[in-house]
Amino acid sequence: MIQLVPRSGNAPLWQIATPVLAVLATMLVGGLIFGLMGYDPVAAIRTIFWDPLFGPASGYSRPQLLVKAAPLILIASGLAIGFRAGIWNIGAEGQYIIGAITGAAVALALYPLEAWWLFPLMVAAGMAGGWAWGMIPALLRNWFGASEILVSLMLVYVAQRVAAWMAFGPMRNPQGMGFPGSRNLQQYPSAANPELIAGTGAHWGVVAAAFAVLATWLLMSRHIRGFHIRAAGTAPRAARFAGVNPATLVAFCLGLSGALAGAAGLFEVAGPAGQITDRIGVGYGFTAIIVAFLGRLHPVGILLAGLLLALTYIGGELAQLTMGLPAATVQVFQGMLLFFLLGFDLLTRFQIRRRITA
């Protein structure tokens, strides 16, 4: 009989070993599938994991990892704080969309004004939009006890429809030949979020993601609120006795994660995406939940997990391009990677012991 015993304290070796084991297991099973489908398994694995970093076109794909990972890391950093406190914001996708819309709205309203303060104002508006969208589930939980998981998820659907409405209606580009979608902010200098240093991929969203990792790490390890959050997550009742106001914590966590998701949306719409369309939400908000868990809700872990997922996206495209691997096969491979990472995570939290039963 096999028994799981929770580990006491951290298990640093397992913390590092489990993700490595999970990736290896994915390579093994994935390679098997690729082989069965008639593709060279070694080449496929190399294309996905190695080529984006060190392959022939890695000069381009390496910076692109940052572009792809930045929104995931930015959103996941905020989510993880709430998750640690047992506050489940799963509506970051909606907060991302609303942040993109409110941020872009500022630029579209002021077009074609050029001013240095426009972009900072857009960032503020994006964060405010995401924050406000996140505060809805917070307040509904605090006032009426409504589950923030479900309210925040429902608000994703609402946000998606708001985006469609904006793209077809109020925000439609008047010079867009009747096509849906707003003006392209990349072509509006004061509102654009371009590459800061050519060839690095780094736009303001990448800078913000790095900052978010650092700030959330400081918050969780050095600040009294970080202590409250951890306390609320592990021992809610004790935390209440210690003077932690649960309502404040709910508002703080949902507001913060909403604001960060909103910022991610704004950086994306002003930069890589360029315009508000009905498909502005491409799932970063949901993928970030996976990133938060793969990163064990720890800022450094989230950084690595975000980069790993970005790697599989870009490597997956390369595999399509160079080997003709179908997109669906790449998606299956990614799904497997997530399963293995989530499953193997058990080893960091529990010890497996064999128990002899009579």
Partner 1 sequence: MMIDPLSVFLVLLGAATPILFAALGELVAERAGVLNLGVEGMMITGALAGFAAAYASGNPFLGFATAAVAGAAISLLFAALTQVFLSNQVASGLALTLFGLGLAAMLGKPFEGVRAPVMPAGPLRINWIVWLGLVMVPAIWWFLNRTRRGLILRAVGENHDAAHALGYNVRLTRLAAIAFGGAMAGIGGAFISIATVLQWTEGMTAGAGWIALAIVVFSNWTAPGVLAGAWLFGGVTVLQLRLQAAGVAVPVQLLSMAPYLATIIVLVAMSARQKFSRRAGGAAPGSLGTNFHALR
Partner 2 sequence: MNRRHLMASAAALMTALAAPAYAQDEPLKVGFIYVGPIGDGGWTYQHDQGRLAIEEEFGDRVETTYIESVPEGADAERALTQLALAGNQLIFATSFGFMDPVINVAQRFPDVKFEHATGYKTAENVATYDARFYEGRAVIGTIAGHMTESNRIGYIGSFPIPEVIQGINSSFIHARKVNPDVEMRIVWAYSWFDPAKEAEAANALLAEGVDVILQHTDSTAPLAQAEAAGAIGFGQASDMAQYKPSPRVASIIDEWSPYYIKRVQAMLDGTWESGSSWAGIGDGEVVIGEITDAVPAEVKAEAEALRDAIGSGEYHPFTGPLNKADGTVWLAEGEVATDEMLQSMDFFVEGITAQIPQ
d(CA 273, CA 278): 12
Residues 95 and 262: beta-carbon distance below 8 Å: yes
User: How buried is residue 281: exposed, middle or buried, by Cβ count under 10 Å (0-12/13-18/19+)?
Assistant: buried
Closer Cβ to partner 2, 278 or 350, answer by number: 278
Interface residue with partner 2, options 13, 36, 177, 197 (CB under 8 A)? 177
179 binds partner 2, rule: CB under 8 A: yes
Angle at 219 between CA 216 and CA 224, to 5 degrees: 160
Peptide bond preceding 189 in cis form (omega within 30 of 0): no
d(CA 267, CA 34): 36
Q: Given the structure tokens 């077009």, which residue do they identify? A: 111
Q: Work out how close the CB of 225 gets to partner 1 at its nearest, in angstroms, rounded to a whole number.
A: 23
Binders of partner 2 among residues 265 to 304 (CB under 8 A) are 268, 271-275, 277-280, 282
Closer Cβ to partner 1, 116 or 357, answer by number: 357
Residues that bind partner 1 (CB under 8 A): 4, 6, 88, 90, 140, 143-147, 149-151, 153-155, 157-158, 161-162, 164-165, 168-169, 286-287, 289-290, 292-294, 326-336, 338-339, 342-346, 349-350
Number of residues that bind partner 2 (CB under 8 A): 38
Token pair listed for 175: 């010079």
For 85-150, what is the HEC assignment? CCCCCCCHHHHHHHHHHHHHHHHHHHCCCCCCCHHHHHHHHHHHHHHHHHHHHHHHHHHHCCCHHH
Q: Work out how close the CB of 54 gets to partner 1 at its nearest, in angstroms, rounded to a whole number.
A: 26
Closer Cβ to partner 2, 94 or 226, answer by number: 94
**Helices of type H across the chain:** 12-36, 41-49, 51-54, 58-84, 92-110, 118-144, 148-168, 204-222, 224-234, 236-241, 246-270, 284-294, 299-323, 327-344, 346-349
Q: Which stretch binds partner 2 (CB under 8 A): 12-20, 182-190, 250-258, 300-308?
A: 182-190
Q: Work out how close the CB of 317 gets to partner 2 at its nearest, in angstroms, rounded to a whole number.
A: 6
Residues 87 and 228: beta-carbon distance below 8 Å: no
51 binds partner 2, rule: CB under 8 A: no
Interface residue with partner 2, options 324, 354, 356, 358 (CB under 8 A)? 324
Q: Which does 332 bind (CB under 5 to 8 A by kind): partner 1, partner 2, none?
A: partner 1
Binders of partner 2 among residues 157 to 176 (CB under 8 A) are 164, 168-169
184 binds partner 2, rule: CB under 8 A: yes
Closer Cβ to partner 2, 78 or 180, answer by number: 180
d(CA 281, CA 274): 13
Q: Which does 151 bind (CB under 5 to 8 A by kind): partner 2, partner 1, none?
A: partner 1
Angle at 217 between CA 214 and CA 220, to 5 degrees: 150
Closer Cβ to partner 1, 147 or 187, answer by number: 147
d(CA 176, CA 182): 8
Residue numbers of the site for partner 2 (CB under 8 A)? 57, 60-61, 64, 67-68, 164, 168-169, 177-181, 184, 186-187, 268, 271-275, 277-280, 282, 314, 317-318, 320-322, 324, 326-328
